[in-house]
């Protein structure tokens, strides 16, 4: 009773919104001002400069953004060895697997550096510095209309980026924060020669599969290792056998001391996107309309793929990475929709909005903020009418691979538009398509895609308002008497895309006429025309009203709560989150310990289910308790642990760092009960799932026999050297 009263009083002053230590994805350049005292109280032993410094080497120099924000990795040796998740290298592992060399099933370990495999397309970016450029950008936005804002922001950002990278080999980006209220510059050094060094088999790296994904208790060895290479001069260079390992300015020492409940733990990495300032109406639209559609479409996609993958190893390998990507967010959306309800997120948002509205209604704020929430509401009213069309284009139309490839051909179609196409432009468009062919066809199975295309078009036809579908599509369906297998077989028989030879022959002598007769290209063109024409026109203004509304809402919240420490939404820029190693109660009377051991792997083993196969060699090591120096003091082998840090997608692979700046684990997931956490942080139950570094070392050394990789690291000694050696 008292507590409630106290909260009510505090809330009048807006003080209940003080963030708690574990919530928040903080910008490293501000921790000294905003977080350092708090971190020290929690046990941190480092100085702010040891975490983030522009002039001296600091933790930030060991943190790597992979492929522009897909994942995070960390440097763990002076020779550019990186640790990240298995699921972050999954595409590379898949891409290099064949039925004969199936690294997905068997794992891969380079026993010497010349055996490391180039991870085509993967990049590794190190942050050089960040800078607040809000004043520069906002100065240009004074008195500017909403329509003019984005082009101006783009132009100013371009010039800031150009100035920041002039005469360097760096790249830079200016990003918007707090929904367009603030702007920051990030300067990176980006390496393009990244190689796969090692990965456990999927039965370790993806143990538990989609059943355990997003859940605790977890027993996944979700890690892999990469290496960054530079040219002989130490600067970024494209792959060459002559390249040398890059020497990062800092690499994380690895601690085998282990973790205890409530130990200080922090994570640095590149969270991709959160929506913590989304309004209740936005949440409602997401969980009632958008996400159920995504779940339905993705579920169908997975069923179609799985059927073919189960029949053939070749198809299984081809579709493994696509399947994993679709499955990961299929389950994410199921979880988010469920937990938004269970955690009463809409109610909590509404309470915050009521407080805001009361404040905005006061004479002082009315003019600026009085209508903000009402404007957001009415923008959503219109957007809602087109939400399904939008979702189905993204998920179902672009779910069909033949339609995706058709989309890739649109540039060429435009180049052919002119009566006498400019030969330089035309050639560039042809080359752009040719450059994509290897990647596309390598993992393409036309019969699978034909089934998928039938299923995706059927769902689109059934679920989207026909006014919002293109006439060409409706006609095609009618002509085939609503038989979608027939629709798909018509497309696949007549289109040049399903067969690489046909498309290549066309590229020898491309013509607009031929493209316009291709049913896949026609269909995609029709969807695009409808979408970019009518639908965009119908919702464009609502989206811009929404972005104005969101900007003002966040600005108002900050003004309303001057004492609150705000942190910006994730946007693929470097962040730090700090907290503790911690257990939790997922529901009434149920307790989850903060760590798992190999006992749980054996408990979960199920040879009849490919998600729960335990490799013989792992069982052997377990039975002999042959854990090397990596076991806990009680002789058990730890696998994963929990922290209450605040992370999201993009953080995958991030280092979990102890009070002394040493690596204790690699973050790879969030927990089911807090799947609504990207929208509203759940202080009591939100957890980060981490693979314990001791399990990583054990797998590398004892399972894979790649001790040379452990030797390359800087190991921090065990405080209690009660080493449990192998006893048979």
Q: Which residues bind ligand ARG (CB under 6 A)?
A: 87, 206, 209-210, 213-214, 324, 328, 649, 652, 668-669
Residue 220 CB, shortest distance to ligand ARG, in Å, is 7
DSSP letter at 551 equals H
- DSSP result, 225-258: EEEEEE-TTSS-----TT-EE---S----EE-S-
| Least distance from ligand ARG to the Cβ atom of residue 328, Å | 5
Q: How far is the CB of 215 from ligand ARG (least distance, A)?
A: 9
Residues 6+ apart with CB under 8 A from 270: 63, 65, 69, 71, 72, 572, 573, 574, 575, 650, 651, 654
Distance CA 114, CA 317 (A): 25
Q: Whose Cβ is closer to ligand ARG: residue 52's or residue 323's?
A: 323
- The per-type count for the chain, helices as H runs and strands as E runs, is 30, 22
Of the pair 303, 438, the CB lying nearest ligand ARG is at 303
**Dihedral over alpha carbons 696, 701, 704, 708 (to 10 degrees):** 110
3-state secondary structure string, 115-171? HCEECCCCCEEEEEEEEECHHHHHHCCCCCCHHHHHHHHHHHHHHHHHHHHCCCCCE
Q: Which residues contact 319 (CB under 8 A, 6 or more apart)?
A: 305, 308, 309, 443, 445, 448
Number of neighbours of residue 447 by Cβ within 10 angstroms: 11
State the minimum distance, in angstroms, from the CB of residue 212 to ligand ARG.
6
Token readout for 644 is 């209450």
441, 492 contact by CB (below 8 A):
no
Could you tell me the end-to-end alpha-carbon distance of the chain, in angstroms, rounded to an integer? 59
- For ligand ARG, give the closer residue by CB, 221 or 649: 649
Identify the active-site residue in 280, 652, 654, 676.
Answer: 652
* Residue 652 annotated as catalytic: yes
Which tokens is 307 given? Answer: 């059927």
Please report how close the Cβ of residue 649 comes to ligand ARG at its closest, in angstroms: 5
Please classify residue 683 by burial: count the beta carbons closer than 10 Å to its beta carbon, then call 0-12 exposed, 13-18 middle and 19+ buried.
middle
Q: Which two tokens stand for residue 464?
A: 């989207």
Beta bridge partners of 265: 579
Closest distance between ligand ARG and the C-beta of residue 2, in Å? 40
Of 145, 146, 177, nearest to 157 (Cα)?
177
Q: Which two tokens stand for residue 197?
A: 């060094």
Q: Tokens at residue 48, please?
A: 């702010």
671: nearest Cα among 663, 662, 681, 661: 681
Nearest CB to ligand ARG, comparing residues 89 and 266: 89
Nearest distance, CB of residue 170 and ligand ARG, angstroms: 28
CB 549 within 8 A of CB 376: yes
SS3 475: helix
Catalytically annotated residue among 53, 86, 87, 308 = 87
Active site residue 222: yes
Q: How far is the CB of 651 from ligand ARG (least distance, A)?
A: 8
Nearer to ligand ARG, 86 or 318 (CB): 86
In this structure, are residues 197 and 116 in contact, taking their beta carbons and an 8 Å threshold? yes
Nearest Cα to 627, choosing from 695, 578, 691? 695
In the complex, least distance from residue 325 CB atom to ligand ARG, rounded to whole angstroms: 9
Residue 27 or 320 with smaller CB distance to ligand ARG: 320
Cα separation, 372 vs 548, in Å, equals 9
Shortest distance, CB of residue 214 to ligand ARG, whole angstroms? Answer: 5
Q: Which two tokens stand for residue 558?
A: 């900050």
Beta carbons of 678 and 67 less than 8 angstroms apart:
no
What gap in Å lies between CA 495 and CA 512, rounded to an integer?
Answer: 14
- Whether 608 is a known active-site residue: answer no
| Residue closer to ligand ARG (CB basis): 171 or 671 | 671
Give Cα 130 distance to the centre of its chain.
Answer: 21
Integer Cα distance of 583 and 258 in angstroms: 16
DSSP string, 3-26: HHHHHHHHHHTTGGGPPPTT---B
Cis peptide before 8 (omega within 30 of 0): no
In the numeric block, which tokens belong to residue 508? 């020898």
- Least distance between ligand ARG and beta carbon 87 (Å): 4
Q: How far is the CB of 85 from ligand ARG (least distance, A)?
A: 7
Smallest gap, in angstroms, from Cβ of residue 191 to ligand ARG? 23
Q: How far apart are CA 459 and CA 470, in angstroms?
A: 15
Which residue's CB is nearer to ligand ARG, number 137 or number 324?
324
The length of the chain, given as a count of residues: 728
| Percent of residues in the chain assigned helix, strand, coil, to nearest 5 | 50, 15, 35
> Which sequence positions are flagged as catalytic?
87, 222, 652
């Amino acid at each position: 009773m008292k507590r409630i009263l106290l909260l009510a009083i505090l809330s009048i002053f807006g003080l209940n919104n003080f963030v708690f230590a574990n919530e928040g994805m903080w910008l490293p350049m501000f921790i000294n001002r905003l977080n350092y005292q708090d971190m020290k109280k929690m046990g941190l032993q480092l100085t702010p400069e040891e975490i983030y410094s522009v002039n001296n080497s600091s933790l930030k120099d060991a943190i790597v953004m992979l492929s522009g924000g897909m994942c995070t990795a960390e440097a763990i040796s002076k020779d550019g060895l990186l640790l990240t998740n298995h699921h972050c290298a999954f595409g590379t592992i898949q891409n290099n697997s064949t039925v004969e060399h199936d690294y997905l099933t068997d794992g891969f370990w380079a026993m010497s550096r010349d055996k490391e495999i180039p991870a085509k397309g993967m990049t590794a970016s190190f942050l050089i510095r960040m800078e607040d450029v809000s004043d520069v950008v906002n100065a240009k936005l004074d008195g500017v209309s909403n329509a003019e804002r984005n082009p101006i922001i783009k132009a100013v950002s371009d010039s800031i980026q150009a100035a920041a990278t002039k005469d360097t080999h760096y790249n830079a980006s200016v990003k918007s924060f707090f929904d367009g209220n603030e702007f920051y510059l990030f300067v990176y050094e980006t390496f393009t020669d990244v190689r796969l060094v090692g990965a456990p088999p999927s039965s370790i790296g993806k143990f538990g599969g989609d059943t355990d994904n997003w859940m605790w208790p977890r027993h996944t060895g979700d890690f892999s290792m990469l290496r960054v290479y530079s040219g002989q001069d130490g600067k970024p260079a494209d792959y060459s056998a002559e390249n040398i390992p890059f020497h990062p300015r800092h690499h994380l020492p690895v601690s085998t001391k282990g973790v205890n409940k409530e130990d200080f733990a922090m994570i640095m990495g590149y969270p991709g996107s959160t929506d913590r300032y989304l309004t209740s109406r936005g949440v409602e639209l997401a969980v009632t309309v958008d996400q159920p559609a995504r779940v339905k479409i993705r579920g169908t996609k997975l069923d179609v793929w799985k059927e073919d993958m189960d029949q053939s190893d070749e198809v299984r390998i081809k579709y493994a990475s696509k399947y994993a990507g679709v499955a990961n967010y299929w389950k994410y959306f199921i979880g988010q929709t469920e937990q938004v309800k269970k955690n009463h997120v809409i109610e909590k948002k509404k309470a915050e909005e009521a407080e805001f509205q009361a404040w905005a209604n006061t004479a002082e704020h009315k003019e600026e903020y009085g209508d903000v929430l009402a404007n957001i509401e009415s923008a959503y009213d219109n957007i809602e009418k087109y939400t399904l069309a939008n979702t189905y284009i993204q998920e179902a139309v672009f779910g069909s691979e033949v339609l995706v490839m058709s989309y890739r051909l649109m540039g060429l179609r435009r180049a052919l538009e002119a009566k006498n196409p400019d030969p330089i432009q035309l050639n560039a468009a042809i080359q752009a398509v040719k450059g994509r062919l290897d990647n596309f066809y390598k993992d393409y199975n036309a019969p699978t895609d034909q089934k998928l295309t039938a299923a995706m078009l059927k769902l689109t036809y059934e679920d989207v308002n026909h006014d919002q579908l293109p006439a060409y599509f409706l006609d095609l369906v009618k002509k085939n008497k609503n038989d979608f297998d027939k629709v798909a077989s018509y497309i696949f028989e007549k289109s040049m895309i399903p067969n690489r030879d046909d498309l290549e022959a066309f590229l020898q002598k491309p013509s607009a006429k031929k493209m316009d007769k291709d049913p896949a290209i026609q269909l995609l063109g029709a969807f695009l025309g409808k979408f970019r024409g009518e639908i965009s026109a119908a919702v464009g203004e609502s989206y811009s009203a929404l972005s104005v509304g969101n900007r003002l809402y966040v600005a108002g919240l900050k003004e309303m709560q001057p004492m609150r420490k705000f942190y910006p939404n994730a946007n693929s820029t470097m962040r730090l989150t700090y907290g503790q190693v911690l257990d939790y109660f997922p529901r009434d009377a149920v307790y989850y310990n903060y760590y798992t051991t190999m006992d749980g792997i054996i408990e979960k083993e199920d040879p009849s289910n490919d998600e729960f196969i335990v490799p013989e060699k792992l069982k052997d090591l377990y039975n002999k308790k042959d854990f090397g120096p990596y076991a806990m003091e009680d002789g058990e082998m730890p696998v994963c642990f929990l922290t209450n840090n605040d992370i999201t997608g993009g953080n995958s692979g991030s280092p979990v760092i102890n009070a002394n700046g040493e690596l204790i684990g690699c973050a790879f997931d969030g927990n089911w009960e807090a799947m609504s956490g990207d929208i509203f942080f759940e202080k009591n139950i939100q957890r980060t799932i981490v693979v314990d570094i001791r399990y990583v070392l054990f797998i590398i050394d004892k399972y894979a026999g790649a001790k040379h990789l452990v030797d390359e690291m800087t190991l921090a000694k065990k405080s209690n050297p009660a080493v449990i050696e192998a006893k048979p």
